[in-house]
């Protein structure tokens, strides 16, 4: 039998759609967060391209449950849906989720997380960014479809996300508002009118870190700094409980 404890790493889970799935690419916001938390926390990408909040609440218990949450070892969870929910029903019925249902789905996701031991104070909602219709229309045409998302509609979903977070007691990163604050050209934050550009990824990483930092500030550096390892008896340093 082993005489030492297995090292258990806290987790930050990124749960969302393609904007989350692609966040581990070079210069992605998820990769930046993971880099900041190296040796302190595992950052787990649970981004599901094309998914909406309806599908998200169905699969969430398969991803995080009271059986696999490792005794409240989850430091934080980001919930980033809405960019697909806001698709126009007549142009993209498969992904579209009505506004009121979207709001209720976010609340249900919070309840499911709570049942798995992740309290609302560990949850950060991320509201969808604004949509640049001319750029996204070009993408749609290339795929053989017509424009299937509108700027104004995305704004309603972002507002619903902010309101749901407040009602759940969760924090929220309101990209819709922040990306347009003080008359900023939000289009610079988007690569194709919907997904994030490199600048957009930097923007999300910077603002998300401000919300995450307090939740992970007390996490210790896991395993000793190399200079603190006893070279003559490394086991005494490396197998001790931290």
The catalytically annotated residue of 150, 156, 195, 207 is 195
42 beta partners: 11
18 is catalytic: yes
Contact (CB, 8 A) for 60 and 112:
yes
197 catalytic residue (yes or no): no
Decide: helix, strand or coil at residue 186. Answer: helix
CA gap 31, 47 in Å, rounded: 13
Calculate the alpha carbon distances from 198 to 17, 27, 63, 80, 154 in Å.
Answer: 18, 6, 28, 18, 21
* Total residue count of the chain as it appears in this document: 242
| Given 17, 18, 23, 53, the catalytic residue | 18
Give the tokens for residue 88. 């126009």
195 catalytic? Reply is yes
Q: Give the Cα separation of 30 and 22 in Å (integer).
A: 8
Beta strands in the chain (DSSP E): 11-16, 42-47, 74-80, 123-127, 171-174
Options 156, 191, 192, 237, the catalytic residue: 192
Helix axes 151-168, 99-115, angle to 10 degrees: 30
* Positions marked active-site: 18, 192, 195
């Amino acid at each position: 039998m082993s005489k030492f404890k297995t090292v258990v790493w806290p987790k930050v889970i990124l749960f969302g759609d393609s904007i989350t799935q692609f966040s581990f690419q070079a210069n992605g916001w998820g990769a930046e967060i993971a880099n900041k938390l190296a040796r302190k926390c595992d950052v787990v990408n649970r981004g599901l391209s094309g998914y909406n909040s309806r599908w998200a609440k169905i699969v969430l218990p398969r991803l995080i449950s009271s059986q696999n949450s490792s005794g409240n070892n989850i430091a934080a969870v980001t919930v980033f849906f809405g960019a697909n929910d806001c698709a126009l029903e007549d142009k993209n019925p498969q992904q579209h989720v009505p506004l009121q249902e979207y709001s209720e789905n976010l609340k249900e996701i919070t309840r499911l997380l709570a049942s798995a031991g992740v309290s609302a104070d560990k949850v950060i909602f991320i509201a969808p960014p604004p949509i640049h219709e001319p750029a996204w229309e070009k993408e749609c045409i290339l795929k053989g479809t017509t424009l299937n998302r509108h700027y104004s509609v995305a704004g309603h979903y972002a507002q619903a996300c902010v309101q749901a977070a407040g009602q759940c007691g969760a924090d929220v990163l309101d990209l819709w508002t922040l990306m347009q604050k003080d008359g900023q050209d939000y289009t610079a934050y988007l690569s194709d009118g919907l997904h994030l550009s490199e600048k957009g990824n930097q923007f999300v990483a910077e603002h998300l870190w401000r919300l995450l930092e307090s939740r992970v500030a007390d996490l210790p550096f896991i395993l000793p700094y190399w200079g603190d390892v006893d070279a003559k008896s490394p086991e005494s340093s490396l197998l001790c409980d931290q």
